[in-house]
Each structure stands twice: as C-alpha cells, then as structure tokens.
C-alpha cells in the first residue's frame, strides 16, 4: 500500500489536496471504504474514501483535516469478499505554514 503525493510538502490548512492510496490489490466492489487517521496530537479521524480505478482509494481534504503540523498516520479500511480490515500503515508529514526547511 502506498500514498501518492507524499514526495510533496503539505501544509496546515490545505484544502482540496487529493490523497490517493494504492491498496496493492483489486478492491472493486469494496464497501465501507475509508481512511483511518491518527493526527500528531493523538486524536483520530475517519475520512470517507471512494474507489478510484481498481486498486486505489481517494479522498480530498476539507477544512480541518490538516489542522496540525507533524506526522499523520493513515490506514485504508474496507470490506471486500467477506474480509474487513486495515491496510498497511502510511506515515506522512504536514508542515507548519512557513516551514520550508528541508
């Protein structure tokens, strides 16, 4: 499982950022598709995702999604063919506005 776009820097307050998660297998027909998130302060969120193509989940950020700087932990979650569960953990960083240091 991989997250497209993690090579780019993302910042607190971004809205409209597309998160595209490659699940690594065909997920056509899956239900209950979501992205489970743990934010830098330990709070959790569930973002409702949609199937894109045959192997990806997609979600577009809204106000409040990237509200904290730091590491975000993401896992895809879905039900397919009698199996319900989480995908591989993906960690990405959201930076404070103005933090352009490498």
C-beta neighbour count of 18 within 10 angstroms: 11
The pTM assigned to this predicted structure is 0.87
Output the six-digit token pair for 59.
Answer: 């979600």
Per-residue model confidence (pLDDT) at position 101: 63
Per-residue model confidence (pLDDT) at position 2: 45
Output the six-digit token pair for 94.
Answer: 């959201």
Burial (Cβ within 10 Å: 0-12, 13-18, ≥19) of residue 22:
middle
DSSP 3-72: EETTTS-EETT--SPEEEEE-SS--TT-EEEEEEEE-TTS-EEEEE-EEETTTEEEEE--TTTT-S-EEE
What domains can be seen in the chain, in order of their start residue? 2-95 (2.60.40.10)
**Three-class SS of 53-64:** CCCEEEEECCCC
Q: What is the pLDDT along the chain (102 residues), one digit of tens a residue?
A: 445 555 678 899 999 989 999 998 999 999 999 999 999 999 999 999 999 999 999 999 999 999 999 999 999 999 999 999 999 999 999 999 987 765
Cβ atoms of 79 and 57 closer than 8 Å? no
């Amino acid at each position: 499982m991989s997250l497209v776009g993690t090579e780019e820097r993302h910042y607190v307050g971004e809205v409209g950022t597309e998160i595209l998660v490659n699940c690594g297998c065909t997920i056509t027909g899956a239900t209950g598709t979501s992205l489970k998130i743990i934010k830098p302060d330990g709070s959790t969120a569930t973002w409702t995702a949609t199937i894109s193509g045959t192997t990806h989940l997609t979600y577009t950020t809204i106000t409040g999604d990237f509200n904290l700087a730091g590491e975000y932990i993401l896992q895809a979650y879905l039900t397919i063919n009698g199996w319900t569960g989480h995908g591989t953990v993906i960690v990405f960083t959201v930076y404070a506005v103005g933090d352009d240091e490498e």
